[in-house]
Amino acid sequence: MLQSQLFTKTRREDPKDEVAKNAKLLIRGGFIAKSLAGVYVLLPLGLRVLDKISQIIREEMNKIGGQELRLATLQDPAVWQASGRWSDEVVDNWFKTKLKNDTELGLGFTHEEPLAKLMIDHIQSYRDLPVYVYQIQTKFRNEVRAKSGILRGREFLMKDLYSFNVDQAGLDTFYEKAKVAYRRVFDRVGIGAQTFLTFASGGTFSKYSHEFQAICSAGEDIIYLSRDKEIAINDEVYRPEVLAELGLDEKELSKETAIEVGNIFKLGTKYAEALGLTYVNEAGERVSVVMGSYGLGVTRLFGTIAELCGTDTGINWPDNVAPFAIHLIMLGNDEVVTTKAKTIYEELSAKNIEVLFDDRVAGAGEKFGDADLIGIPHRLVISVKTLANNSVEWFNRGVGKTELVALDEVLNRAVNI
């Protein structure tokens, strides 16, 4: 893409109405814009990052047998009354609205109930199981405060997968697969090293649920981490008997602040029973389907990457989620430089390499400042000076290394990033 065509402007100053690092950096780089507290617009650069994260998640969910669908935002009270979650006293973050005839509706904050109801039409026999479905969909949560940028929004993108099995053993097996898939997602988006499986409260459903917590000072959670064993315990269940059960000694644990980027839950038959989702087993008996629920905050992941990969000058995006692979910058308005830069841009684009080409008439300071804010992993500069060496200056932002690369090597190197 030609940067001269990109309509968004970067900002040199932090926005005054933001306290969170992720929001400050993402707004300064032109990735997002604030609509309301906790409600953000995805600008073209931000949408590109979010789409890449979503696609990675989609691929990993498909690999474990997930089928993608999209449930509705507008929620029928009946299905939530069936499970007891319609009341604002039970669920304190509903957004509610009304039809013209005064019927109340909710805006979906999760989807166990409507999905259990939907499945009644599709699951009759044990032969119809297991089923794994997921969506990547906008959720609405009426948060009292929203000061964490896109880490805790009132409107945000979430991946929610739900499993439907014949029994607990089936659920247990899938649950372990889901853990592996989550692990792969965090590795691929570039925060694998900072993200740990964490034992948390299972609520009324099971002994534990599991969270994926990314160590980060912007987090709202406290966890106790064993780096050796690569597991952690959420503060909420940090008790001697839990330590004993997990074979952990408190001496090997460090207390950390972390962002909950995902959590997975064994639901058992609670929602199936509430909504009447049953199947006929091999013995001919009608029994309840066993469910699990697997959440992953897509927008929150976006914000977490910004927190973890952000510096004072911008965000060093991991390769797999960067808005572009290469930022090609031409300096000055020398005709040979311009022509050569355009040629490189066209050659790279022809190989389907995603390039943001800074073809603007602007000074080096502005161009470099913008490049830092946008944070594309590979910055290629072409100028009279680099051309004198028949080269471009290639800066690998991730490793912090700059070198001259011969013009006739650029394409080959770019396709092998």
| d(C-alpha 35, C-alpha 37), whole Å | 7
Contacts of 115 (CB under 8 A, 6+ apart): 71, 133, 162
How many residues bind its own copies, per CB under 8 A? 51
Per rule CB under 8 A, is residue 33 in the interface with its own copies? yes
Q: Which of 408, 213, 175, 407 is nearest to 308 (CA)?
A: 213
| d(C-alpha 42, C-alpha 306), whole Å | 14
- Pick from 36, 90, 336, 406: which binds its own copies (CB under 8 A)? 36
Per rule CB under 8 A, is residue 47 in the interface with its own copies? yes
Name which of residues 104 to 123 contact its own copies (CB under 8 A): 105, 107, 114, 118-119, 121-123
- Pick from 20, 25, 26, 43: which binds its own copies (CB under 8 A)? 43
Per rule CB under 8 A, is residue 289 in the interface with its own copies? no
Q: Give 31's DSSP letter.
A: S
For residue 379, the minimal CB distance to its own copies (Å) is: 22
| d(C-alpha 336, C-alpha 384), whole Å | 8
For residue 265, the minimal CB distance to its own copies (Å) is: 20
Per rule CB under 8 A, is residue 95 in the interface with its own copies? yes
| d(C-alpha 295, C-alpha 287), whole Å | 26
- Pick from 21, 26, 40, 258: which binds its own copies (CB under 8 A)? 40
For residue 51, the minimal CB distance to its own copies (Å) is: 9
Q: What tokens does 251 get?
A: 């001496």
Per rule CB under 8 A, is residue 67 in the interface with its own copies? yes
Contacts of 133 (CB under 8 A, 6+ apart): 66, 67, 68, 69, 115, 161, 162, 164
Contacts of 362 (CB under 8 A, 6+ apart): none
Per rule CB under 8 A, is residue 12 in the interface with its own copies? no
Per rule CB under 8 A, is residue 154 in the interface with its own copies? yes
> Torsions phi, psi of 338, nearest 5?
-60, -50
Per rule CB under 8 A, is residue 54 in the interface with its own copies? no
Q: Are 82 and 94 in contact (CB under 8 A)?
A: no
Q: Give kind and range of the element (H or E) at residue 281.
A: none
For residue 283, the minimal CB distance to its own copies (Å) is: 21
Per rule CB under 8 A, is residue 89 in the interface with its own copies? no
Angle at 261 between CA 116 and CA 322, to 5 degrees: 115
Kindly tell me which of 63 and 122 has the beta carbon lying closer to its own copies. 122
- Pick from 74, 90, 180, 415: which binds its own copies (CB under 8 A)? 74
For residue 123, the minimal CB distance to its own copies (Å) is: 8
- Pick from 70, 207, 239, 255: which binds its own copies (CB under 8 A)? 70
Per rule CB under 8 A, is residue 14 in the interface with its own copies? no
| d(C-alpha 232, C-alpha 211), whole Å | 9
Query: Cα dist. 61→47, 136, 211 in Å?
Result: 21, 11, 17
Per rule CB under 8 A, is residue 41 in the interface with its own copies? yes
Q: Is the peptide bond before 130 cis (omega within 30 degrees of 0)?
A: yes
CA gyration radius, the chain: 24
For residue 7, the minimal CB distance to its own copies (Å) is: 4
**Dmax (CA) of the chain:** 81
For residue 64, the minimal CB distance to its own copies (Å) is: 12
Kindly tell me which of 162 and 182 has the beta carbon lying closer to its own copies. 162
Per rule CB under 8 A, is residue 90 in the interface with its own copies? no
Chain positions contacting its own copies, by CB under 8 A = 5-9, 33, 35-36, 39-44, 46-47, 65, 67-76, 95-100, 105, 107, 114, 118-119, 121-123, 128, 131, 133, 138, 140, 142-144, 154-155
